[in-house]
Structure 1
Amino acid sequence: MPRSLPGQSINPDRSHDMPTVHVYMMSGRSQTQKETLIRRVTDAVMASVDAPEENVRVIISEIPKGDYGIAGTTGEKLGR
């Protein structure tokens, strides 16, 4: 079986590529903001790696502000 190098695909039509982007962020964004993020990340992945839209996956993991550290302090204490 042929091996691919990083950034190369064995299948040149790329129809089986399934790029997945995982976004970690503090909780508190609206559903509309998350939907906009998903749309824009999907568009960026499609343009950057020539992946079909139906193959792009975006996962959002929301972290409670008290569990998210910034420069040694929680997001909650920073008022984020």
Structure 2
Amino acid sequence: MWCCVVFRSTGFNPRRSDMPTFHIELFEGRTLDQKRQFVEAITKATCESLGVEPNSVDIILTDVKRENWATGGKLWSEA
């Protein structure tokens, strides 16, 4: 299953935590438990690698239907 990740950060300010925001698009069909495990893993890796607190990590998941995603001029629903 395919996903796309866009990472944005506000830039580091020593007076407050850096606030990374992840916008993640993925094909629909994952369970709530799979999404929960996924965001926990991203949050953990982000905290370890960027030195931020968990409450400063924002993750936005967007489910996309295969008919609304194309690669190489072909819809994934027709692949």
Same fold (TM over 0.5): yes
TM-score (norm 1): 0.74
- Does structure 1 retain, via aligned residues, the 8 Å contact 2:24–2:62? yes
Shift of 1:71: 2.8
Alignment gaps of 5+ in structure 2:
1-10
Separation in 2 of the partners of 1:10 and 1:60?
Answer: 26
Distance 1:54 1:10, change over 3 A: closer
Provide the TM-score with structure 2 as the length reference.
Answer: 0.75
**Structure 1, gaps ≥5 residues long:** 1-7
4, 11, 14: which one aligns with 2:14? 11
* Structure whose alpha-carbon radius of gyration is higher: 1
Q: Which amino acid aligns with 1:41?
A: I
Tell me if structure 1 keeps the 8 A contact 2:21–2:58: yes
1:71 maps to: 72
Match runs of 1:1-80 below 5 Å: 9-11=12-14, 15-78=16-79
SS in 2 for 1:59: strand
CA-based RMSD? 1.6
Task: Give distance in 1, aligned partners of 2:27 and 2:12.
Answer: 34
